[in-house]
Structure 1
Amino acid sequence: MKKVSVIAVSVLVLAGALISVPQASAAPIVCKPTTAKAHAPLKTVPPQKPAKPLPKSMTLKTNCGDVVIALDAKAPFTVTQITALAKAGYYNKSLCHREAVSGFEMLQCGDPTAQGAGGPGFTYPDENLPIGKSLAYPAGTVAMANAGPNTNGSQFFLVFGDSPALGPSYSIWGKITKGLDVLKYIASKGVNDPSGIGAPKIKVAIESVVVK
Structure 2
Amino acid sequence: MGVSASTSVSVTLQTRLGNIELDLNALCKRGDYDNTHFFRITTEGVFIIQGGDPTNTGEGGKSFDGDVFEDENLAGSQYSSGTVAMANSGKDTNGSQFFIVYKDSQLPPAYTVFGHVASGLGIIQQVSSAGTADGSSDGKPRDQFIINKCIAK
TM norm structure 1: 0.65
Bigger fraction of residues in strand: 2
More helix per residue: 1 or 2?
1
- 1:174 — aligned with what? 115
Cα deviation digits, residues 141-197 of structure 1 (max 9, x gap): 000001111111100001110001x11100000011101100110011110234311
Counterpart pick for 1:139 among 81, 92, 105: 81
| Larger Rg belongs to | 1
Shift of 1:49: 5.2
- Tell me the secondary structure at the aligned position of residue 183 of structure 1: helix
DSSP-derived class of the 2:115 partner? strand
Is 2:50 the counterpart of 1:97?
no
Which aligned segments of 4 or more residues in structure 1 are displaced greater than 3 angstroms?
A: 48-51
Q: Please name the residue that 2:105 is paired with.
A: 163
Distance change >3 Å, CA 203–CA 127, structure 1 → 2 = same
Q: Which residue of 2 aligns with 1:123?
A: 68
Let me know the Cα RMSD of the aligned residues.
1.8
The percent identity for this pair of structures is 38
Kindly indicate whether structure 1 or structure 2 has the higher relative contact order, using CA contacts under 8 Å at least 6 residues apart.
Answer: 2
Match of 1:190 among 123, 128, 131: 131
For structure 1, the residue ranges without an aligned partner over 5 or more in a row are 1-47, 73-78
- The count of corresponding residues between Structure 1 and Structure 2 is 149
Structure 2 stretches lacking a partner, 5+ long? none
Rounded Cα–Cα distance in structure 2 between residues aligned with 1:155 and 1:174 = 14
